[in-house]
Structure 1
Amino acid sequence: MTRPAPGHGAAATRRLLLGTALAAGAGAMIRPARAAEYPDRPIRLVVPYSPGGLTDTTARLTGEAIGAALGQTVVVENRPGSNSILGAGTVANSPPDGYTLVMVIGAHAANATLYAGRLPFDPIASFAPISHVVTTPLVLAGSRHIPPTTLRELLDYAKARPGQVNYGSSGVGSAAHLAMEDLMRRTGVQMEHVPYRGTQPALQDLLAGRLGCMFDVYSSFGPHLEANTIRGLGVASTERPPFARGIPTIIEGGVPDFEASAWCLLLAPARTPPAIVERLSAAVAGMRRDPAMVARLDGLGLTPVGSTPDEAARFLRAEIDRWGAVIRAAKVQVE
């Protein structure tokens, strides 16, 4: 067997290491080039709810904006189930390449506490926040089958009948549910929660008088408020919004600092390249600078936010903390 000359093995090793380093450097140069070419195929935007609701509508408008800004098709995919856990989990386990995104709402923040230790992902660590897309204050509507015509009258009416007035929501842990839990905690009122699978069946029971009141977004209530078939009792914002000038704020009704909103947040899988996250965030921010898009959102009672990724991350953490405290105080549980 021929032996290598002295030092030959060391030289070969040095050449191998040098070649590896050059290859790694070449790879490093290739990766940014690929990020710069993003997106070169359609983007999938998962909605963890059924078609037709606030989240779905916002996702489709956001998909239009992203598609126009990045020159690529955005395909909206509805994956409802388990209070948004199914759809969010699909995205958490997807490749972090910017081609699979998810639109979440307040339930995502609530799930961090409601399903603590049982989620198949971490509501914060498993995702790269892109943007706080839209927000809208919740509205408290009352049935015309009970006497109260104002928030104060409703609170007095319910306080005199503890546990006898039913309120509805679109589901356990929804913004509508937790807003009412917070309102009851602050005012000492006790009402009975009736959760539904979505807003529409709850609204039908509000119209029929099987519920005394419920929180939801103005776009759900608008036609019925205009038809005078339900009463607008309060808006959960610091000021009366343009689309509901005739409804007093809950703060005006005597509950200090009461605010509660429905919102949509766009997330990508954790470890998605920051350059891609920034491009997507900039595309979403463009919605608030587009007069036609602003008008469409305004017609739905939605205000575009278009935050930075860092702002979106801070917002999500704050919402998890806020509603976690309400859930624990009210001892809210899911089956």
Structure 2
Amino acid sequence: MDRRSFSRWGAAAALAPALVLAGTGPAGAQGYPDKPIRLVVPYAPGGIADTLARRLADALRNSLHQPVVVENKPGANTAIGAIQVASAPADGYTLLLATAGTAVLNPMLIPNLRYNPATDFTAVANVAVTPLVLTVNANGPVQTLADLVRLAKAEPGKLAYASPGTGSSTHLAMEILLAEAGISMIHVPFAGSAPSMNSVLAGDTQASIDSVASTAALIKGGKLRPIAVTTRERVAVLPQVPTVAESGVAGYNVSTWYGVLAPAGTPAAVVERLNQAIVQAQAEKPFREQFEALGLVIPPPLKPAAFNDYMQAERAVWGPLIQAKNIRIE
């Protein structure tokens, strides 16, 4: 099993008990929900996370027969929204759309973080996987990952790569790639994907790893050249783009993800009811097709305990890298 991946859903799903989708829900949750549910998104409106949350909210509304209201609480590398949910009543009426950064990376990156994802939240369900893609300026000389490696070795310490921010999963994905390819590049962090990609377009930096969803429009418009995807297999929306592993860095497999968390102490029956509703949403063809068209992947569903185990395993994977690179968000 590849310990560098954010997307090992299959192995965990195989350990999960069979899903029960019929009936009115687990014993003890028959009265839930009886009022609106809040789904907190720790990002600004308009992005992929917001789109995913609003579509999920619609599906949950149909399944749970209560309004599901999306609230955007961006800031502090998703910590603002996470803190709000961690401090909410543990009754199933306040949920968090979390990312790997929220649930795994932040405690390792942010000194004095005001929440602990391992103890302040209850795992509910995994929702989607986000493949990443390595891109360069479409007008530049780099055509393949091998070209980038050769150029970096010929000019050590001169090339730079952009990221949407220090400590982001995309930043860490690039650090792993550099280490395994045996090259070095200067890290130039930006406040988000748009300025990061703009720096590659302007030629101020030579490469960037970001989500397929974030880069798709620029790739389609011929402004960014995709040279490798970071997942074990090729991505459906970029079928002609090889994987990093195919391009010479064997075993490389990195992606990030979205999942739903609830405050710690939320009753198990309520968590199970929510898990069932999310699994039902994932099984709907329009839900899957909408996000697969944007470059997301709907993974095999996990029961809450298996999703929790998965996040714990990820903390053990990424801690040593962050410590070795001394990566911090101040």
In terms of fraction of residues, the more helix-rich structure is: 1
Q: 1: CA distance between counterparts of 2:139 and 2:236?
A: 28
Which protein has the larger Cα radius of gyration, Structure 1 or Structure 2? 1
Q: 2: CA distance between counterparts of 1:193 and 1:295?
A: 35
Question: Counterpart of 2:95 in 1: which secondary structure?
Answer: strand
**Which residue of 2 is the match for residue 115 of structure 1?**
110
**Which residue of 2 is the match for residue 5 of structure 1?**
none
**Which residue of 2 is the match for residue 41 of structure 1?**
35
Contact 1:55 1:104 in 2 (8 A): no
Q: Normalized against structure 1, the TM-score is what?
A: 0.86
Of 312, 321, 326, 2:316 maps to 321
1:193-212 correspondence runs (5 A): 193-212=187-206
Q: 2: CA distance between counterparts of 1:188 and 1:229?
A: 28
Of 171, 186, 189, 2:165 maps to 171
Contact 1:145 1:212 in 2 (8 A): no
Is 1:157 the equivalent of 2:156? no
Question: Counterpart of 2:237 in 1: which secondary structure?
Answer: helix
Question: Counterpart of 2:136 in 1: which secondary structure?
Answer: strand
Q: How far is 1:226 from its partner?
A: 2.1
List alignment gaps of at least 5 residues for structure 1. 1-31
Contact 2:105 2:315 in 1 (8 A): yes
1:287-306 correspondence runs (5 A): 287-305=281-299, 306=301
Is 1:131 the equivalent of 2:125? yes
Contact 1:105 1:262 in 2 (8 A): yes
**Which residue of 2 is the match for residue 265 of structure 1?**
259
Question: Counterpart of 1:124 in 2: which secondary structure?
Answer: helix
Question: Counterpart of 1:36 in 2: which secondary structure?
Answer: coil
Q: 1: CA distance between counterparts of 2:282 and 2:27?
A: 30
**Which residue of 2 is the match for residue 241 of structure 1?**
235
Q: How far is 1:145 from its partner?
A: 4.9
Greater relative CO, 1 or 2 (CA 8 Å, sep 6+): 2
**Which residue of 2 is the match for residue 25 of structure 1?**
none
**Which residue of 2 is the match for residue 188 of structure 1?**
182
Count matched residues: 303
Q: 2: CA distance between counterparts of 1:227 and 1:41?
A: 45
Is 1:92 the equivalent of 2:86? yes
Q: How far is 1:282 from its partner?
A: 0.7
Q: How far is 1:254 from its partner?
A: 0.8
Q: 2: CA distance between counterparts of 1:211 and 1:139?
A: 16
Q: How far is 1:34 from its partner?
A: 7.7
Q: Which amino acid aligns with 1:139?
A: V
Contact 1:287 1:304 in 2 (8 A): no
Contact 1:113 1:327 in 2 (8 A): yes
Q: 2: CA distance between counterparts of 1:320 and 1:171?
A: 19
Question: Per-residue CA shift, 1:144-196, capped at 9, x if unaligned?
Answer: 35421100110111122222212111111111111001111212211111111
Q: How far is 1:281 from its partner?
A: 0.6
Q: How far is 1:237 from its partner?
A: 1.3
1:222-241 correspondence runs (5 A): 222-241=216-235
Q: How far is 1:33 from its partner?
A: 8.9
List alignment gaps of at least 5 residues for structure 2. 1-25
Give me the CA root mean square deviation. 1.6
Q: 2: CA distance between counterparts of 1:114 and 1:100?
A: 26
Q: 2: CA distance between counterparts of 1:96 and 1:190?
A: 46
**Which residue of 1 is the match for residue 304 of structure 2?**
309
Q: Which amino acid aligns with 1:113?
A: M
